[in-house]
Amino acid sequence: MPVLPDQHVINQIISGRYADPFSLLGMHEVAAGLEVRALLPDACQVWVIDAQKQSRVAELSRYDDRGFFVGLLPRRKKFFRYQLEVRWGDNVHIIDDAYRFGTLLQELDIWLLAEGTHIRPYEKLGAHPQNLDGVDGVSFAVWAPNAIRVSVVGEFNFWDGRRHPMRLRRENGIWELFVPAACEGQLYKFEIIDCRGHVSLRADPYAFEAQMRPDTASLVRKLPEKVDYSPERKKANALNQPVSVYEVHLGSWRRHADNNYWLSYGELAEQLVSYAKWMGFTHIELMPVNEHPFDGSWGYQPLGMYAPTRRYGSPHEFKAFIDAAHNAGLNVILDWVPGHFPSDAYGLAQFDGTALYEYADPREGYHQDWNTLIYNYGRHEVRNYLAGNGFYWIERYGIDGLRVDAVASMIYRDYSRKAGEWIPNHYGGRENLEAISFLQYTNHTIGKELGGAVTMAEESTDYPGVTLPPEANGLGFHYKWNLGWMNDSLKYMQLDPVHRKYHHNLLTFGVLYTYTENFILPLSHDEVVHGKGSLIDKMPGDAWQKFANLRAYYGFMWAHPGKKLLFMGCEFAQGREWNFNQSLDWHLLDDPNGWHSGVQNLVRDLNHTYQQQSALYELDFNPRGFEWLVVDDHENSIFAFARRDEHGNELIAVSNFTPVPRYGYRIGVSRPGRYHEVLNTDSHHYHGSNIGNAGDVYTDPYPSHQREHSLSLVIPPLATIYLRREDC
């Protein structure tokens, strides 16, 4: 006779509320032999099949009309591979039983996942197509330690949470199950009965693909193959190389004119990559492409951290886009958001009925500015989830760098909070020590394991040592956005030229701290949204002065120490503020001799000049690479400085931020000889007035600016010129 379980237990398994399905279902040893139990709702008849012999062994009895079957195999003493022959009405299927397979996670993985030091958690958690004991299927695993029961549901089981309840690994709170016959491309979710008894359907936190919003299911997808890191890509990220970044929102860079629909990853691979290469940029930075529910967040409120957004195509097509950029010699940076996540019901919020991924106290776990939740960085599994995600994009998609968003909001507990609205750390301070430790761990791990990849911090405060290594008490980033320089320089440029002499220090102050970090000079999307207008709109004066100001500013920026970043549309001086829901105004370039084409030509020439002149980048982070030549001419708003490389090659940049041309303006230089004007932002080619030095200028033995030799220059109005010292 079968050893029948208690009816209460059967009721629980049928109702989908039994937490230990492997103790009940599958093959079990009993006193009389082996017993097989199966839950197969709506089945009419079930036979046990010897998988090796492909013969019937025993018929299971329907113990409960709701689909619970049980049968004894009295002559069998040893476990064997079996299948179930199931008749549903007139249809008969031979299936593999999910409850005949053993545990999936190995002891080392369990240890590392619980410790928070598993470098590649995505290889174990989530959904993975595989062959187990000769059976094709998908292994599923999800962390939900406080759930009462977790089932995987999807197209393979009629979205019925009774059919595939998962095994809880009590060692670390991970639920796992191998589902035979499930396959790549199928939709799935996790049905969770949380600690309060509430049932919810959750997308997989580790899903490699997700449905297009507003649908929210995950898709079974193979883990992308690893991407080799070429020496060329590693070199392009180095501190002594030219780095000129084109920041792009894929959904609004360009759209189809007939229906305003997005370009696909494939179309972007052709159009965006070729354009960025032609413009002379070295890197493309993508605003977040992680799957996100709300278009208006621009991707900065992600939920599918491991899934490229389906808005523009499949993960395979996204990877092909990255490959196209690499083939064109462009590195790709991904905006990465470990700072917060939205509270959508299908996502991470209260995942198992508790604040699992987020801090429980809203004074720690809720962002007032964005109405989002804050990750609990002190929890090992959360650190694993996030740090592993950064590793995943670099190793599996070939991303060359991560620009980490809103670092200040992570490292300060009182960020954008009033007194009484935040909780101090255990020392009584305002720093979020857990977030700092997480950033140090992530940056150190990426730097150690994936040498060549870089991380970049958008950090808006004067936190010390953002780009120092963790062992020197730094955060370990390779680069930091210089938001101080950006704010000061834009504030200066917005002034009417007649007032600039009173604010001269806005352009000189930045050099006092430019060597404290490895800085990137950013003119990002943040400066052209939320009523701030466009960059060209910020410039004072009439149309001529606006465009001349912007060109002069770009010339100053490209010569200034620090790597460069420019948001899309700014390279041709788009007049309106950026709108994420429509294409850039490419029609402004229809006139090849117009204002906008002139700015585009300038940015292109700046990029190419920047790459050709090692003096402009090689010693970006070494004081030997910079020297002020004219720093105190407030009255004329003139700035002049020299940039040098390791071999002493020199380029001089001179900026005039008044609309008055300066003839015979004398500048002292350290080395006599011939200087060639290699770029002039007032050139006719850029739609300027074409005032300049007509090629070469020679030094005179006349002392000026505490130097024995000097140059007599023509400095155009509202313009920047570059002069390269030539060997005579």
The residues that are catalytic are 405, 458
Q: Count Cβ atoms below 10 Å from residue 354 Cβ, excluding itself.
A: 16
Give the whole-angstrom CA distance, residue 206 versus residue 140. Answer: 10
Give the whole-angstrom CA distance, residue 194 versus residue 348: 13
Q: Which amino acid is at 661?
A: P
Q: Are 488 and 507 in contact (CB under 8 A)?
A: yes
What is the token pair recorded at 414?
């009182």
- With beta carbons less than 8 A apart as the criterion, state whether 584 and 636 touch: no
Cα 369 off chain centre by? 20
Round to whole Å and give the CA distance between 86 and 382.
42
Cis peptide before 659 (omega within 30 of 0): no
How far apart are the C-alpha atoms of 490 and 85, rounded to whole Å? 73
Determine the 3-state secondary structure of 317 from DSSP.
helix
Pairing of strands 283-286, 290-291: unpaired
Give the distance from CA 515 to its chain's centroid: 27
Rounded CA separation 427/444 (Å): 25
| Torsion from C-alpha of 614, 564, 395, 137, nearest 10 degrees | -150
CB atoms within 10 A of CB 593: 10
Question: SS3 helix, strand, coil % of the chain, rounded to 5?
Answer: 25, 30, 45
Distance CA 410, CA 54 (A): 59
Contact (Cβ atoms closer than 8 angstroms) between residue 503 and residue 657: no
Q: How far apart are CA 452 and CA 399, in angstroms?
A: 11
**Cβ-based neighbours of 715, under 8 Å, separated by 6 or more:** 638, 654, 656, 661, 662, 665, 721
- What tokens were used for 399? 């991303």
Contact 439, 480 (CB under 8 A): no
H-helix or E-strand spanning residue 557:
helix 543-559
Q: What φ, ψ does residue 31 adopt, rounded to 5°? A: -60, -35
Alpha-helical regions (H) of 203-264:
231-236
Residue 473 is given by DSSP the state: T
Contacts of 542 (CB under 8 A, 6+ apart): none
Max Cα distance, the chain (Å): 112
CA distance 315 to 571: 29
Q: Count the neighbouring beta carbons within 10 Å of the beta carbon of residue 418.
A: 8
As a whole number of angstroms, the distance between CA 143 and CA 109 comes to 13
The conformation of residue 22, written as its DSSP 8-state character, comes to G
Residue 706, SS3 per DSSP: coil
Torsions phi, psi of 454, nearest 5? -125, 160
SS3 string of 54-120? CEEEEEEEEEECCCEEEEEECCCCCCCCEEEEEEECCEEEEECCHHHCCCCCCHHHHHHHHHCCCCC
